[in-house]
C-alpha cells in the first residue's frame, strides 16, 4: 500500500484499508515512500524555501522505489516472508498466497505507484487512486499541502512563478 503526501506506512491502517483487507481477504503490506514520507518533512521543508535544492527530494524517492521493490520481492519469493515462521501456520505453510502481488496507492502513492507498476516485475497490477499524476495538479488541490505551502508561498510570492516552479518540480 502506498501512502499519500508526506504520510507514512501507517496509512495502511486507515482510509478503509483494514476493511478492504477483511472483506476481500487481502494481505496489505507497506513501507514508507522514502523521500516523500513523514520522516522526510524537515528535508522537504528546507527545499521549499530554496527550490534550487529540490532535486534531493526526488533523488531520495529512488530509495523509496527500491524499498517497495524489495517488499514485493519478499512477498513473492519462496525464501522471502513465506519462509519465515512469523508468516506460517503451525504446519509451516505460508499464511498468504505469494503467487501475485498487487499495488494500491492513493495521492502521492498513486503518482509514485505508476512508476512502481512500470518498473517492478514482481507487481502484477495495481490501483492508483486520487491522484493528479503530476505535481502541478496534485499540490494545488491537496489539502495536505496547505501547511507545506506556507514556506513555499512565503519564499515565492508570485502565483504565476509558483505555477512555473510546480511544473519544474514535476
Task: Tell me: pLDDT of 139 over 80.
Answer: no
Q: Which DSSP letter does residue 22 get?
A: H
pTM summary value: 0.85
Q: Cell numbers of 107, please?
A: 495521492
Q: Helix (H, G, I), strand (E, B), or coil: what is residue 31?
A: coil
Looking at residue 15, what is its pLDDT? 78
Half-sphere exposure of 36 (CA within 13 A, CB side): 24
C-alpha 169/C-alpha 162 separation (Å) is 10
Q: What percent of the chain has pLDDT over 70?
A: 99
Distance CA 158, CA 156 (A): 6
The pLDDT, as a whole number, for residue 157 is 96
Owner of C-alpha cell 529540490: 54
SS3 99: coil
- Give the sign of the dihedral formed by CA 142, CA 146, CA 152, CA 156: positive
* pLDDT of 89 above 80: yes
pLDDT band at 144 (very low <50, low <70, confident <90, very high): confident
Strands (DSSP E) contained in the chain are 102-106, 125-129
Distance CA 123, CA 146 (A): 33
Instruction: Give the confidence band of 78 by pLDDT, cuts at 50, 70, 90.
Output: very high
- Can you count the helices (H) and strands (E) in the chain? 7, 2
- With contact defined as beta carbons under 8 Å apart, do 120 and 72 qualify? yes
Proportion of the chain above pLDDT 90, given as a percent:
72
92: alpha, beta or left, given left = phi > 0 and alpha = psi -120 to 50?
A: left
CA dist list (Å): 155 to 44, 51, 91, 164, 167: 14, 9, 61, 14, 17
Amino acid at each position: 500500500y502506498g501512502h499519500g503526501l508526506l504520510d507514512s506506512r501507517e496509512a495502511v491502517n486507515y482510509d478503509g484499508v483494514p476493511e478492504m483487507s477483511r472483506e476481500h481477504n487481502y494481505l496489505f503490506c507497506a513501507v514508507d515512500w522514502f523521500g516523500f514520507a513523514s520522516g522526510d518533512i524537515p528535508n522537504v521543508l528546507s527545499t521549499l524555501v530554496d527550490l534550487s535544492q529540490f532535486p534531493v527530494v526526488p533523488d531520495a524517492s529512488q530509495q523509496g522505489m527500491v524499498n517497495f521493490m524489495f517488499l514485493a520481492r519478499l512477498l513473492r519469493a519462496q525464501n522471502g516472508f513465506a519462509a519465515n515462521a512469523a508468516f506460517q501456520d503451525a504446519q509451516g505453510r505460508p499464511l498468504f498466497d505469494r503467487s501475485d502481488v498487487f499495488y494500491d496507492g492513493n495521492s502521492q502513492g498513486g503518482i509514485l505507484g505508476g512508476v512502481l507498476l512500470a518498473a517492478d516485475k514482481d507487481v502484477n497490477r495495481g490501483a492508483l487512486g486520487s491522484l493528479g499524476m503530476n505535481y502541478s495538479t496534485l499540490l494545488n488541490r491537496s489539502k495536505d499541502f496547505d501547511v507545506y505551502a506556507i514556506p513555499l508561498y512565503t519564499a515565492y510570492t508570485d502565483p504565476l512563478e509558483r505555477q512555473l516552479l510546480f511544473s519544474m518540480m514535476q
